[in-house]
Amino acid sequence: KQEVTQIPAALSVPEGENLVLNCSFTDSAIYNLQWFRQDPGKGLTSLLLIQSSQREQTSGRLNASLDKSSGRSTLYIAASQPGDSATYLCAAHSSASKIIFGSGTRLSIRP
């Protein structure tokens, strides 16, 4: 059974810092790893999707990496801004499109 873990549960950093969010999964037989952002009281917004054959994906200030052999993914945010404050969730896609989520990292960027 796939389990997805995100550490830390919460993170607070000053504006402008680069930061890394971590995600680990127990079953390396995944198809994709997807990162989402969730603002309070809102739905989930897809940030990046890394296919199992890829090692990383980039979008603007975001870079996500995937290491299937070690069961880890990281989301790197460069030059953080207060608008980046949100909960970030990673999700592992198993066979037949089953998507399992981690519990999220609540990120706060201090002005």
Partner 1 sequence: DARVTQTPRHKVTEMGQEVTMRCQPILGHNTVFWYRQTMMQGLELLAYFRNRAPLDDSGMPKDRFSAEMPDATLATLKIQPSEPRDSAVYFCASGLPRGVNTEAFFGQGTRLTVV
43 or 111: whose CB is closer to partner 1?
A: 43
Nearest distance from residue 14's CB to partner 1, in Å? 27
Question: Does residue number 12 form part of the binding site for partner 1 (CB under 8 A)?
Answer: no
Instruction: Fill in the DSSP letter of residue 83.
Output: G
Question: Does residue number 103 form part of the binding site for partner 1 (CB under 8 A)?
Answer: yes
Q: Token match 């399992």: residue? A: 100
Q: 54 near 68, Cβ under 8 Å? A: no
Q: What residue ranges in the chain does DSSP mark as E strands?
A: 4-7, 10-14, 19-25, 32-38, 44-51, 56-59, 62-67, 72-77, 86-93, 99-101, 105-110
Question: Does residue number 98 form part of the binding site for partner 1 (CB under 8 A)?
Answer: yes
Query: Pick from 14, 40, 69, 97: which binds partner 1 (CB under 8 A)?
Result: 97
Binding mask 26-45 for partner 1 (x = CB under 8 A): -----xx-x-x-----xxxx
The rounded distance, in Å, linking the Cα atoms of 53 and 45 is 23
**What does the binding site for partner 1 look like in residue numbers (CB under 8 A)?**
31-32, 34, 36, 42-46, 49, 51-52, 89, 91, 93, 96-104
